[in-house]
Amino acid sequence: MVVVALAKDDKSPVTVADFAAQALVAKRLSETFPEMGFVGEESAQVLRTPEAKETLDQVTHFVQQVEPDATPEAVCDWIDWGAEEPTDTFWTLDPVDGTKGFLRGDQYAVALGYVKDGIVRVGALGCPELAAAVRPDKGGAGSLLIARRESGAWAGTLGSADGADADDDWQRLRVSERATCAETRLLCSVEKAHTDTRGIGLLAKTLGITADPVPMDSQAKYAVLAAGGGDVNLRLISPSRPDYREKIWDQAAGSIIVEQAGGRVTDLSGTPLDFSQGRTLANNRGVLATNGLLHDALLAGLKKIGA
């Protein structure tokens, strides 16, 4: 496995895996749904530079394992299909959500969502290091979560050791029934730059939450929440980035999976997430995802601390 990372303009890392996954998904989506748009996290701009030739060769090598006729130019074109602005109907992809977790060998996810008229209709999360959608399992078969609006959310095995499909292990997901703030299990980002750790501590104190926060990378947090292994997934705005707005690919798949498992997802003011504003959730501040029972109490707590 190649895990060497490049730095994007915002200083976040991007790996060969990010590029290869986006290229392959884009290629398959363009063939299957040619009339739909596609919004991906990555751009091939850096790959088209002479300095990145070795990285592009590595990306092409891995893509060729699935698409034998792939060329470097075609790979870049497939990746860059995702650089477009959203249309009324489109797919959005985070090819490796939680790249730093991936580099550390911790939690990460491949996240794909289908959006129509600003509402997520379908979501899928592949979590290779997560068992039964709730338990870290390094090197295990992993979990695949899918949801369709009005049809529920389900989890199955991502893959077995011999590559066989596991068609008979799908389980319907259901959020926890915890309704007491003191026992709330908060799922929070590992990376301090992604959230306001001080604010989370203040919120916990305000609401009397005694359980320690559970740090976890990527939309795997949404998976754990949907499966009842946690109660709240909180994304506070970092004081160092007060104007930051979430990217749609970071929230689309996970949000519908939690909602279809019986949970609730809004921004920090209680407003539903609006996926009709381009590549970001421009009309929303932060994200609050809960089992539903705790949502109003968390919103009240957030208001009290001025978050």
pLDDT number for residue 11: 45
**What HEC string does the chain produce?**
CCCCEEECCCCCEEEHHHHHHHHHHHHHHHHHCCCCEEEECCCCCHHHCHHHHHHHHHHHHHHCCCCCCCCHHHHHHHHHHCCCCCCCEEEEEEEEECHHHHHHCCCCEEEEEEEECCEEEEEEEEECCEECCCEECCCCCCEEEEEECCCEEEEEECCCCCCCCCCCCCEECCCCCCCCHHHCCEEECCCHHHCCHHHHHHHHHHHCCCCCCEECCCCHHHHHHHCCCCCEEEECCCCCCCCCCCEHHHCHHHHHHHHHCCCEEECCCCCCCCCCCCCECCCCCCEEEECCCCHHHHHHHHHHHCC
Spatial CB neighbours of 127, under 8 Å, sequence gap ≥ 6: 107, 108, 109, 133, 142, 143, 144, 145, 158, 218, 220, 223
Q: Tell me which residues are annotated as active site.
A: 18, 99
51: containing domain: 1-84
Residues 301 and 194 placed together within one structural domain of the fold = yes
Look at residue 227 and tell me if it is in a domain: yes
Q: Which pair of tokens denotes residue 79?
A: 């990746």
- Show which of 84, 113, 146 is a domain's final residue: 84
Q: Minimal CA–CA distance to 115: which of 93, 139, 130, 83?
A: 93
Look at residue 26 and tell me if it is in a domain: yes
- Show which of 30, 65, 84 is a domain's final residue: 84
Residues 185 and 74 placed together within one structural domain of the fold = no
Look at residue 123 and tell me if it is in a domain: no
Q: Which pair of tokens denotes residue 186?
A: 């908060």
User: d(Cα 73, Cα 293) in Å, to the nearest integer?
Assistant: 50
pLDDT number for residue 196: 83
Q: Which pair of tokens denotes residue 10?
A: 């915002």
Q: How many domains does the chain have?
A: 2
Q: What is the CATH number of the domain that holds 293?
A: 3.40.190.80
pLDDT number for residue 140: 92
pLDDT number for residue 7: 55
pLDDT number for residue 10: 52
Residue 236 near residue 268, CB atoms below 8 Å: yes
> Which residues in the chain come in under a pLDDT of 70?
1-13, 160-168, 192-194
- Show which of 84, 102, 117 is a domain's final residue: 84
Q: What is the pTM of this model?
A: 0.92
Look at residue 141 and tell me if it is in a domain: no
pLDDT number for residue 99: 86
Q: What is the CATH number of the domain that holds 22?
A: 3.30.540.10
Q: For residue range 218-241, list pLDDT tens digits in order.
A: 999 999 999 999 999 999 988 888
Look at residue 161 and tell me if it is in a domain: no
pLDDT number for residue 159: 74
